[in-house]
Amino acid sequence: MNSPQKPRVVSGMRPTGKLHLGHLVGALRNWAPLQEKYDCFYFVADWHALTSDYANTAAITTHAIDNVADWIAAGVDPERSTLFIQSLVPEHAELALLLSMVVPIPWLERVPTYKEQQEQLTDKDLSTLGFLGYPLLQTADIALYDGRFVPVGEDQVAHLELSREAIRRFHQFYGEVLVEPQPLLTPIPRLPGLDNRKMSKSYGNTIDLTDDADAVAKKVRQMYTDPKRIRADIPGTVEGNPVFMYHDAFNTNVAEVDDLKSRYRAGKVGDVEVKTKLAAAMNVTLEPLRARRREVLARPGHLREVLVEGSRKARVIAQATMERVRDAMKLRY
Q: Which CB sits closer to ligand TRP, 74 or 243?
A: 74
Nearer to ligand TRP, 142 or 269 (CB): 142
Complex with ligand TRP: residue 14 or 219, whichever CB lies closer: 14
By CB under 6 A, residue 95 contacts ligand TRP: no
Rounded CA gap, 132 and 139, in Å? Answer: 13
- Under rule CB under 6 A, residue 142 binds ligand TRP: yes
Q: Could you say which of 24, 25, 150, 278 contacts ligand TRP (CB under 6 A)? A: 150
Residue 192 or 236: the one with the smaller Cβ distance to ligand TRP is 192
Amino acid identity at 255: A
Residue 162 binds ligand TRP, judged by CB under 6 A: no
Shortest Å, Cβ 157 to ligand TRP: 11
Number of C-beta neighbours around residue 213 at 10 A: 15
What's the count of helices (H) and strands (E) in the chain, helices before strands?
Answer: 15, 5
Q: Among 236, 214, 213, which Cα is nearest to 225's?
A: 236
Q: Does 152 bind ligand TRP (CB under 6 A)?
A: yes
Query: Helices 157-174 and 91-102, interaxial angle, to 10°?
Result: 70
CB 171 within 8 A of CB 178: yes
Select the residue whose beta carbon is closest to ligand TRP and give its number: 12
The string of DSSP codes covering 130-188 is: HHHTHHHHHHHHHHTTT--EEEE-GGGHHHHHHHHHHHHHHHHHH-S-S---EEEE-SS
Check residue 311 for interaction with ligand TRP (CB under 6 A).
Answer: no
318 counts as binding ligand TRP under rule CB under 6 A:
no
99: part of which helix (H) or strand (E)?
helix 91-102
Nearest distance in Å: CB 271, ligand TRP: 33
User: Is residue 156 part of the contact set for ligand TRP (CB under 6 A)?
Assistant: yes
Interface with ligand TRP by CB under 6 A: which range of 114-122, 134-142, 172-180, 188-196? Answer: 134-142
Asked if residue 30 binds ligand TRP (CB under 6 A), the reply is: no
Q: Are strands 39-44 and 8-13 parallel, antiparallel or unpaired?
A: parallel
Paired sense of beta strands 39-44 and 82-85, if any:
parallel
Which residue from 11, 52, 82, 311 is in contact with ligand TRP, where contact means CB under 6 A? 11
Considering only 9, 10, 50, 325, the residue that binds ligand TRP (CB under 6 A) is 10
Residue numbers of the site for ligand TRP (CB under 6 A)?
Answer: 10-14, 45, 48, 138, 141-142, 150, 152, 156, 159
